[in-house]
Structure 1
Amino acid sequence: MPPQMKIVVKVPMHCDKCRTKALKIAAAAHGVSKVSIEGANKDHVEVIGDDVDSVCLTRSLRKKLGCSCTIVKVEEVKPAVKTEEKPTPACTLQCRPMYCELVREYPEPTTCSIM
């Protein structure tokens, strides 16, 4: 299985319609698993996926959006290392202790009243 790649492409987008169109184009590329808009000006399209060709993705964005797109960064996504944590007890100090009290509705007779 090829490693997942993270590709960031700078796309000049001036409205929400352009952003939506860029997301749709990027999501349609082969091997893409996640697409998002990043950057301070929301002008970077971040694509994460397996075996994604960054050149073909950029060429497709240029052709379909009609603007100049540039590749900013291509890097391999490393899987997150999971650290083993000790399970926390279900009930901690925030739970109040429960108390039970035995209440008898009818007192027990000491002698039999029928006989």
Structure 2
Amino acid sequence: MTQKIVIELPLHCAKCKKKILAICTTADGVTTVTLEREGRDRVVIKGENIDPAKITECLREKVTKNAELVSVAMED
């Protein structure tokens, strides 16, 4: 079963995007990371056995305090 995690956070500049991608792609179990900018800035992470709280906490510490975990869903 694959997890789909959505985290909402402001994407200010290219440097922030690079940091976000680096943090998300190095987390254990992550297979894909997608940045969405439709209306609200969001990061969609897919993979198996991912700890969403740990990723959100790391983004808050290293990129922005405004990172918010929106949803965690299981997909087939």
The TM-score normalised by the length of structure 1 is: 0.61
Question: Which residue identity is paired with 1:55?
Answer: A
Secondary structure in 1 matching 2:32: strand
- 1:66 to partner: Cα distance: 3.5
In structure 2, how many angstroms separate the alpha carbons of the residues matched to 1:66 and 1:37? 15
Question: Which residue identity is paired with 2:12?
Answer: H
Please identify runs of 4+ aligned residues in structure 1 that moved more than 3 A: none
1:34 matched to 2:32: yes
Question: Which residue of the partner structure matches residue 57 of structure 2?
Answer: 59
For structure 1, list consecutive stretches of 5 or more residues without a partner in the other structure: 79-115
Question: Radius of gyration: which is bigger?
Answer: 1
In structure 2, how many angstroms separate the alpha carbons of the residues matched to 1:66 and 1:9? 12
Bigger relative contact order, structure 1 or 2 (CA pairs below 8 A, ≥6 apart): 2
For structure 2, list consecutive stretches of 5 or more residues without a partner in the other structure: none
User: Which structure's residues are more often helix, by fraction?
Assistant: 2
RMSD over equivalenced CA pairs, Å: 1.4
The TM-score normalised by the length of structure 2 is: 0.90
Question: Which residue of the partner structure matches residue 68 of structure 2?
Answer: 70
